[in-house]
Amino acid sequence: MEAIKARGLTKIFGDLVAVDHIDLDIPSGVVFGLLGPNGAGKTTTFRMIYGVLRPTEGRVWVYGHDVSKEPVKAKNLIGVLPEDTGIYPRLTAEENLIYFGKLHGMPETELKRKIEEYLSILELEEKRDFIAEKLSKGQRKKVAFIRAILHDPPILLLDEPTSSVDVVSARDIRNMIKDYAKKGNTVVLASHNMLEVEQLCDIVSIMHRGKIIHTGSIDEIKRLEGVKELEDVFVRLVRAEVF
């Protein structure tokens, strides 16, 4: 069974077709990259997968659960790092994590242990008592990443997981993503960082103007396009759709 399956997924805002009848088949246990220029529809697709936007047309299933018909069951299987982080600005970094951990029913001892572990890995111990709105953009991103993985969901949806994050922490986050996938979990990430995508992803879909224009492993896509760098593939495919 696919971790995530979508058929005919479409979202229209007025005259704008943000996502245009896309199909997705994301297997369990892979790191899947959703790539595309700004405005391609990546974030809108993410929001439909985790149920905060209702599709205009089409359906999404998360491990067989229809997101529209069984939203609670589907959402319980997903950890999300959204584009805007989504952490509460008037809570401290630690309070944000405790709140979300309790929402997912985590036992107190496990919750405290994981918060300590992840704050240490991402060098946030000294910021734990800072009100979130006083944290830097990169620090808020790190708190939001911890929140996404805290309850060990089988699926992670990560929108630009290392943007605004310092180089050392970005490497730590990439290592955490690799380790998470090695345990059999599924990670879906949107990123503009082609080097990061090459390091992390087993499969990628390239999205442009609301459509999926190519899907495959990175090696397959490079071979088909006859180039050595993923960035060259990306530019070539997107420009071919423009002209």
- Average of pLDDT values for 74-81? 95
Q: Which domains does the chain have, with CATH numbers?
A: 4-77+153-242 (3.40.50.300), 91-152 (no CATH)
Alpha-carbon span 82 to 213, nearest angstrom: 23
- Average of pLDDT values for 221-231? 74
Residue percentage of the chain with pLDDT more than 70: 96
What are the residues whose beta carbons fall under 8 Å from the beta carbon of 21, sequence distance 6 or more?
8, 9, 10, 57, 58, 211
Q: Which residue has the higher pLDDT, 232 or 131?
A: 131
How does residue 122 score in pLDDT terms, banded at 50, 70 and 90? Answer: very high
Q: Which residue has the higher pLDDT, 91 or 226?
A: 91
Q: What is the pLDDT of residue 137?
A: 94
Alpha-carbon span 170 to 155, nearest angstrom: 20
DSSP the chain: --SEEEEEEEEEETTEEEEEEEEEEE-TT-EEEEE--TTSSHHHHHHHHTTSS--SEEEEEETTEETTT-HHHHHTTEEEE-TT----TTSBHHHHHHHHHHHTT--HHHHHHHHHHHHHHTT-GGGTTSBGGGS-HHHHHHHHHHHHHTT--SEEEEESTTTT--HHHHHHHHHHHHHHHHTT-EEEEE-S-HHHHHHH-SEEEEEETTEEEEEE-HHHHHHHHT-S-HHHHHHHHHHHHH-
Q: What is the pLDDT of residue 242?
A: 46
Q: Is residue 62 predicted with pLDDT exceeding 80? A: yes
The bridge status of strand 203-208 relative to strand 211-216 is antiparallel
Q: What is the pLDDT of residue 10?
A: 98
pLDDT tens figures, 168-206: 999 999 999 999 999 999 999 998 888 889 999 999 999
pLDDT tens figures, 21-40: 999 999 999 999 999 888 89
Q: What is the pLDDT of residue 236?
A: 73
Q: Contact, 105 vs 99, CB < 8 A? A: no
- Average of pLDDT values for 101-127? 96
- Average of pLDDT values for 119-138? 96
Q: What is the pLDDT of residue 241?
A: 55
SS3 per-residue string spanning 55-80: CCEEEEEECCEECCCCHHHHHCCEEE
Q: Is residue 227 predicted with pLDDT exceeding 80? A: no
